[in-house]
Each structure stands twice: as C-alpha cells, then as structure tokens.
A and B are shown apart, each in its own frame.
Chain A
C-alpha cells in the first residue's frame, strides 16, 4: 500500500512537472491571412497595428510564448504610442478636431489580455497537435497520481476515526519547506491566471475540447480555471471522504459543495452560454458576486429578455431573502461550507492546512476590521454602480465609477480572493479569504450572530481544554475559550464546517439549530459543580 502511495506521488509529480513545463513548449505564429482575419474581426482601426503585428508574429521563427507575448505587446504599444504622439501634437497645435479623431485608433485593453487573445489563435506544435495525449500527460497523470496517493489511505489510515497523526510533524502541513513550495506554486498560478493569461495559454489549449463539448466555444483562461477547480475539488473530496469516513456530516457536506461547484458554478453557466444566455452562477450571491450590479452586467441581463430578467430578480432575491432566511434557520454554514465555491475549495484542497489559521486575539481584531472594510467597500462601490446605471453619469462626487470598480476588482477580486485567498492556504490556513475578506461572509455573519437558530452547543462541563477544536478551526475561532467555560459558540465568522466537533476527544461540541432562547449562555461555573454555587455565580 505504501508502495502504491509513493508511486502515486511520483506519478503526480511527473504530471505536475509536465504541466508546468508545457508552458514553455510549442511555438506561436500566425500567417498573414490569419492575422488579417483576426484584426478585421477585432475591428481595430489603427492603421499601423497590422504592419506592426505582422512584423512581430507573422514569422517562421519558433517564438515561444514569452517572445511572442513580448512581440505582441510591443506592437500594440508602438501603435498606441504613435497615436498618443499625434494626440499630443494636435493638442499642442490646438487642432481639436484632429486630436479628437485620433482616439478611435487607440487600442484599449490590458497588454497581456490582448496578447492572450492572439496567442490563443497562434499556438503551434506538440500541445495543439496532440491535445488528447497532452491532457493525459498533465491532467491525466495528475489525477491518477493524486488518487493513487490518496486512496491507499483507506487501508493505511487504519480504522475510521480522527486522522491527525503527524500533522504538525510534517513539512507539508506545518509550514515546512513543502508548504512554502506549495505557497509559491499557488501564488504564481494565481498571478499568471489573473495578470499574465497569455503565459498559460498552452494550458487553456488542453481544455479546449472539453469547453467545446459543453458550451460550444473554445476555452478561455476562466474555463481552464473552472475546470481545474472542479478537478482539484473532486480529487481532494475523495481525500475528505476517506479521512472523515467516520463522520457523516463531513461526508454529506463534502458531497454538497462538490455538487454545487460542478453543477452550479461550472456546468450550468457553460450550458447557458451554449443556449446564448448570459453566463450565470445561480448560487453566487451578491456581494461575493461583486459585479452583479455593474452597468455592463445589468445591461447584458436586461438585453437577454425574460431569462435575463429572471436572473436579475433571482440575484436580488437570493441576497435579500434566501440568504438571510436560510442563515436564520441553519446558520451561515448552509452557504459557506455547503454551497459556496470558495468554501468548497477551502474545504477540500484547503483541508490539510486548516490548523494553520491564527487564533490570537490580535488576528480576531484584524479580521473584524478588514472584513467589514471590504463589506463597506463593496456597498459603496455598488452604490456608485447603481447610480451610474440609473443616471448615466459615469462619476459620482468627482470619482469615476469605473475607477472604483477597477480598484475593487484588482485589490479584492483578484489579489485578496485569489492570490492571497487561495495562494496563502499553506501558510495562513485555508479560509484566509472567507475569514478576512469575503463581504458576503461578513453579511451572513451579522445575521448568524444576531438573529439565527444556529449555535455550537457546548456539552455542559465536559471540556478538558485540550485545544483540538481551536487548532483545527479554519476560521481561527478560539473555540476552546468558549467550551472550557461551558458556553455555546455563537460567532459571526463560524462557517459550520463541523471539524471542531469531529476532533473533540470528549464529545463536547455539537453544531445544531435550535430555539433562539438560551443560544448565548455565558457561564462562570460549569455544570457538574454544586447547583447552589452555579446559581450564585451564574445568575449574578
């Protein structure tokens, strides 16, 4: 069994290595005819972009993606600089008509996105010619290797029970060198995905056939991300099923997040696209879905007939009615650890890192400041967006709506939720985004704290302060601080993953939904002692 496990690790690492190496292979070029088609499709008006691009990429040289990207970006830059110079020149001459005319020739867009768009058409070589084989050598080996590594645990981990042996003794899970490598890999991945999509265009080719079979369109880097997300979650869900096979709550919860990710976040939106409907994830609630009220989204929905209108109404109802009502009955866990995609990844890929979240009082303070700041940020931004949508004015009190949206998208949407949120799993634990950043979690948290039936019940005086609950709380809640006082845990940040209850050696904790009365029960003297003393102290 150990041999199978080690073989699996080797196969996984081979798959991962080929995956990483595949960025560097293949060549990129277009024929003049292909380039012409591309430019006319894009409708670029610049008179020099055609010449610049054909100089850059219509070639027999074997350009790798980095050279190709650099050439393309230079071509766009040269074109834009040319017109910038003209604008400056006509500006100086006060020739306003001429100056105004120049703007239509400028090409907008992030350089690496422009480059990605062309690269997607320009790939040549092993990968593009052998997508199936390359898929097997990367995704295939990765999946098989990972499963071979995971499945033997059915036997190796022994009888069902708590399987945390060695977690703080291993480099992968105690911020050792493996953890730091994983950190670097994940952070790099997110930076490439968000900011340098052209560099990973070879990966996107690998999932083109899958995308075409679902939506009818070739894949984008977001399809790649979605597919990878589902794959990683599925494989790591197998690990969850094995590790927590003694615990039905964990099994059901894992199945639920996996279902919602694959069906709601991945398949349904792609299928909608196939039927020429807007891409929409029905479970992604505002304000986590921060661009729902952006003008472009509202315009698109309103342009999509009844179905668009349905989405619009559902999105509003989801946030205003469904979410709070469900949180009242079940706590925010129904969303955060049963439905949400971010939570889904955290609970599968992130599960090995849950013990790394900080439990200090200081980090709780930081958490409350940061998460509520993000909530305010998203609400203000949405206010701007709605104002812009209704009034048509593109700025409010001198601040451009677009600027605010861009800042939020960059800082929160990309850096916080992606690069930090997932990239930092191996260092700060698996719920960095959910704990410090997610505005939806902040909103659900208010309801959970002040108007909900959910609590983690502490079982009388049975706590022995061992600290397993606090250590394995991914949200960094010092569960023990409550349990050892015999007090129920009612905290806005609790996502109800149920692990504190699972790892408790004395059966002290139980997640449950019950009457609001007595939900919060501060105690000084614990059950088991003299009743008179309990009365004396607790009712003071």
Chain B
C-alpha cells in the first residue's frame, strides 16, 4: 500500500482519486486550499444566479470521502521537496507521499494592468472569487456597473451572472468579434448579437488601459486604451483566459514551463510525481490539441488514465476525438471533432454552414475540401449525440454521409422542431448533390 497524495480536489484530482480507489487499496489523500469538499467549478455561476446553492455544486455527499477512504486535507502547499518526498504546507505542517499527483488547475490571467489588484477586481474561477463577487456585487445598488475584460467563455458567463441581478455590464473584447479565434464568423456574429440582446454593452476591438481606484483603494473606473474613455464601475472582472496555477512548484525540482511539464504518461521529470488537468503541459502536443488543455473533460480524462498507471497498468494519456460544449447566455453550443475559425483553419478545411432564418440556431460542418472527409461540427441551439459523431469521426465518414444520416445524431428533446431537412436541402443546393435525408433509426444509433 502506497500513499498517493493529490494536490487539488477539482475534477482531475477527484477523478484520479476515485479511480485509484476503485482499483487499489492505496492510501489516498486529497489536498485542497480552496474548499474541503469537491465541487463543480463550472457550476459556481449558478450559485450567484440563484439557480443552485453551493451545496448543490458538490457531486458527492460529505460522507462519500470517508466511506471510500479518501482522506481530505485542507491546506496550502508551499513547497514540494521531491528528495524527501514531502509536501510542506503554509502552516508549517508537512505530509509525506509515495506518489504525488499535481492537479492544481488554473488561475485567471493578469497582464500587468495598472490597478489589477484593487478591491473589486477579480477573476471568476475559484470559490473565493464567487465570495468576492457576492461581496462587491450583491445587487445593482452596490454595484452600479461592472466591466468585464476578456471575451472568452468565463467572460460571457460572468456577464450572464451579473445580468441576472440586473447589474449593467460593459464587456471589453480585444478581438473584432466574440471568441473569433475559436468560432467561425457566422457563429461569432450570432453570439455578438445575442450578447447585445441581453443588454450587455459589448465593446469589440477594445482593450483595457488601466483600472482606477477611489480614495479607499476600491475600483472606481477603468480607462480604455486608445480612446482614453473612462467607464465608472464598482467591479472589474478579469477573464482573459487562465494560466496554470503552479507558482508553489517553481522552487522545487519539478520541471515547469507554463505548466508542469509531463510526458504522455503524465509523468514529470521527477519519478513518482505526476501532473494532470489544467496545470499539466504536454511536452509535445497531442494531435491538434494544445499543450495545455484547460477544459473540464480533458482534466477528467487525464485523471482516468493516470489512475490506471498508478494502479499498475501503465497507460498513456491518449484522448479520443475532441469534443466540447458551452452555453452562451441562452444558446447552447456543442462541438465534435475539429472546427477551426477562419483565422486558424488550414487551406484544405472547408465549411458547410447553415443558419436558422430567425432563431439562434446554426451549424458549421468542417470537412476536407479534397477528400470530403468529415472533420468536425459546431452546433448552436441544436443538441447532437456524442456517440454518433465520435463513431463517424473514427470511421472517417464523408460530409455527405454525415448529412444523409444527420437525423440519427439529433439529441434535442422530444417534439422539438427538427431542421435536418432544411440543412440537407441547403447542402444539396450549394453542392449540386442529391442527398436524401434518412429517417432516424434506433438500429443504427445503437449499433456501436
């Protein structure tokens, strides 16, 4: 029996702990400075919005950890001594390990803006950020306006949160269109419009110059770069991406770059020390993935893979087809396979796009222009089956095949209006093809 210590009780660390417990009798300790019990970080927004209480964000009841013999230790790790295999905590206590898993996640980016550490400036990542927001923006009387800097997924979520309490929001986005480094223009524009529909003051092509303080060190206003426009506000949300949360490792012998450097087995340069989740940085990119993947799903998958290694079945981290999802205010987004934005897609990647004339629904199918191989799909306002697209990607289906059988992939609730016929008609018109849409078939859906 070895002592497995996991720093960080987010989805990566907890997944690793659960799977190690399933397959072994190792002693497991989960260390966290953020919260004693695992909670779903992605659900923090719903607590502020009043959809949930914090307790609801905890996927396991409190007895779960004891029952499964997973020790929980609250504490902030100051240093890792890999020679003596010991963790040194801020409160001068220590903990020795046989194997160490670093799963400390991310922290919000700060780019050295003047005033970025004032009261009322915050990211939206940790539980403490939520508490901070509740303090500085409990309602629209205390927080007369909030400015959000950075147009990514967390930024739009923070905007949605603040709008749920009717707090006016100005949203500064560096790019010419929301998230257009990732989304094709059609979709990015639809989201721009949707943001405005929600009465969010969206400022594209806009950068932050500085944050100004009042006499008490609280946020008073922000200044926009270039125009020097001053926007008065009580809260500034910094949501310009995240970076691995690994400052405490820098003094140790563990090799880091932006994140903790790991190989395909999630091993660091030091024996018996591993890193997973947002804080891990692959030495070489896997396929078209980034070296650091700060996504819930990849954190979970790394936890699943590493647990096997720890339990004696040495397992590479070999993620399958890319998938992701998000929700932009009212619009759900799912993606399977690779759809790159116009800005980053390669020459051989073509789009087929469809957009609903009125509703906020659209799709982009990406395919190889030469071979017509299906590469990936983005859907907005339409739910799709993960299994089906995963299978089609594995089987290298063509874009024509995908359209023909599109009805099999729909995952919208029953009685929803289906759009496959319109989608296929548009493709036929554009490509002069005669694809006939096949009816949904349970037999095909379950034939994997």
Binding site for B on A (CB under 8 A): 158-162, 164-170, 174, 246-249, 252, 360-361, 457, 459-462, 464-468, 470-471, 480-481, 484, 498, 501-503, 505-507, 510-512, 514-515, 517-518, 524-533, 536-537
Contact = CB atoms under 8 A, between A and B. Distances in A.
Contacts of B445: 514
B16 to A, nearest CB: 13
A466 B54 CA distance: 10
Contact of B413 (A462, A468, A511, A537): A511
A512 to B, nearest CB: 7
Contact of A464 (B42, B49, B304, B329): B42
A515 B318 contact: no
Interface centre among B43, B164, B308, B313 (most CB of A within 10 A): B43
B46 A459 contact: no
Contacts of B415: 248-249, 252
A466 B46 contact: yes
A524 B22 contact: yes
Contacts of B265: none
Contact of B319 (A524, A528, A537): A528
Contacts of A501: 413
Interface string B372-416: 000000000001111100100010000000000000000111111
Interface centre among B47, B386, B416 (most CB of A within 10 A): B386
B323 A528 contact: yes
Contact of B320 (A162, A480, A506, A529): A529
Contacts, number: 179
Contact of A461 (B164, B297, B443): B297
Interface string B398-438: 00000000000001111111000000000000000000000
Given A160-B330, A249-B414, A470-B56, A167 B42 contact: no
Given A459-B411, A533-B304, A467 B52 contact: yes
Contacts of A527: 320, 386-387, 390
A96 to B, nearest CB: 66
A502 B59 contact: no
Contacts of B327: 505-506
Given A461-B297, A464-B296, A466-B43, A517 B446 contact: yes
Contacts of A510: 383, 411-414
- Taking residues whose C-beta sits less than 8 angstroms from the other chain, chain B's interface range is 35 or more
B46 A530 contact: no
B128 interface: no
B321 interface: yes
A514 B414 CA distance: 12
B253 to A, nearest CB: 30
Contact of B52 (A252, A468, A536): A468
B419 to A, nearest CB: 14
Contacts of A525: 304
B332 A170 contact: no
A123 B297 CA distance: 69
Interface of B: 11, 19, 22, 40, 42-43, 46-47, 49-53, 56-59, 61, 164, 197-198, 296-297, 300-301, 304-305, 308, 313, 315-321, 323, 325-327, 329-330, 332, 334, 383-387, 390, 394, 411-417, 442-443, 445-446
A524 B59 CA distance: 16
Contact of B385 (A249, A361, A459, A530): A459
A507 B417 CA distance: 16
A246 B58 CA distance: 28
A517 B321 CA distance: 25
A485 to B, nearest CB: 10
A252 B416 CA distance: 11
Nearest to A481: B59
Contacts of B19: 524
Contact of A514 (B51, B304, B383, B446): B446
Nearest to A362: B61
Contacts of A480: 59
A361 B56 contact: no
A537 B19 CA distance: 10
Contacts of B320: 527-531
B197 A528 contact: no
B332 A507 contact: yes
B316 to A, nearest CB: 7
Given A467-B56, A506-B334, A515-B442, 12 more contacts: A165-B164, A249-B415, A459-B385, A503-B51, A507-B383, A527-B386, A528-B297, A529-B304, A529-B305, A529-B319, A531-B320, A533-B304
Given A460-B390, A466-B57, A533 B50 contact: no
A530 B305 contact: yes
Contact of B50 (A167, A252, A470, A526): A167
A533 B42 contact: no
B51 A165 contact: yes
Contacts of B301: 461, 526, 528-530
Contacts of B297: 461-462, 528
A174 B47 CA distance: 13
Nearest to B194: A159
A517 B443 CA distance: 10
Contacts of B411: 457, 459, 507, 510
Given A248-B417, A481-B59, A468 B22 contact: no
Given A164-B51, A529-B320, A158 B386 contact: no
Contacts of B304: 524-526, 529, 533, 537
B308 A471 contact: no
A169 B49 CA distance: 8
Contacts of B413: 247-249, 498, 501-502, 510-511
A435 to B, nearest CB: 18
A507 B325 contact: yes
B135 to A, nearest CB: 15
Contacts of A158: 198
A248 B417 CA distance: 9
